[in-house]
A and B are shown apart, each in its own frame.
Chain A
């Protein structure tokens, strides 16, 4: 069983479209995160949720909207996609916010044409 799983792994879409990425963790962790990895491999936190509540929202355009229906799931919806949104998006989880080990999903590569 994959501990942190994301779907889809690849998305190719046109500018202006809306897309969603889903994430699920079966580790029983309380906190989940979305990270963005750009073309230079730099990893940057976007959002953090603790037990379904948003606790960190970095400077991210409001076209990005996370949703956590329960503490095992954290989805990312992106409206009006732009070329600069092309990146790999990683979901991650940890037992406690910012404390302890961080476990990543396999990543979702988004390409906006």
Chain B
């Protein structure tokens, strides 16, 4: 199956700082999503981004599928950004499941 690596595993930021989270994957994919798990445990879908760039407020994401990585940018971080960020990837054929990375704890 596809291997998914996220870096860094842990990140500590001062409020107002910017950060970049990275997701590397081992094979071509056509499904990639970023999730935020807040300190209360809720998993929120941030982006569905198999390729290209998207922005939503202070968050943006870029996926370069040909180079097998995706980046999540957080600008002007706030305390509400705390939690764990997961990347999940998949290929849309057969029953190949969506594979989650181990997350970045912010």
**Residue positions of A touching B, CB distance < 8 A:** 40-45, 48, 55-56, 58, 88, 90, 97-104, 106-107, 109
- With known contacts A41-B103, A45-B98, A56-B97, A98–B42 Cβ distance under 8 A: no
- With known contacts A98-B97, A100-B48, A106-B42, A41–B92 Cβ distance under 8 A: no
Categorize the interface residue count of chain B.
20 to 34
Q: Is the CB of A101 within 8 A of B48?
A: yes
Residue of B nearest to A106 (CB): B42
**Chain A to chain B: the 6 pairs with minimum beta-carbon distance, closest first:** A104-B43, A43-B100, A101-B48, A99-B92, A45-B97, A98-B90
CA distance A90 to B105 in the complex (A): 19
Over the window 65-106 of chain B, the binary record of Cβ atoms lying under 8 Å from chain A Cβ atoms (1 yes, 0 no) is: 000000000000000000010101011100111101011010
Q: Is the CB of B43 within 8 A of A42?
A: no
Q: Is the CB of A98 within 8 A of B103?
A: no
**In the complex, what residues of B have CB within 8 A of residue A45's CB?**
97-98
- Told that A56-B97, A101-B48, A107-B43 touch, could you supply 15 new A-B pairs with CB distance under 8 A? A42-B102, A45-B97, A45-B98, A58-B97, A88-B41, A98-B31, A98-B90, A98-B92, A98-B98, A99-B31, A100-B31, A101-B33, A102-B88, A104-B43, A107-B41
Listed A/B pairs (24) with beta-carbon separation below 8 Å: A41-B37, A41-B84, A41-B102, A41-B103, A41-B105, A43-B86, A43-B88, A43-B100, A45-B98, A48-B95, A48-B97, A56-B97, A88-B41, A97-B95, A98-B31, A98-B92, A98-B95, A98-B97, A99-B92, A102-B33, A102-B35, A103-B45, A107-B41, A107-B42
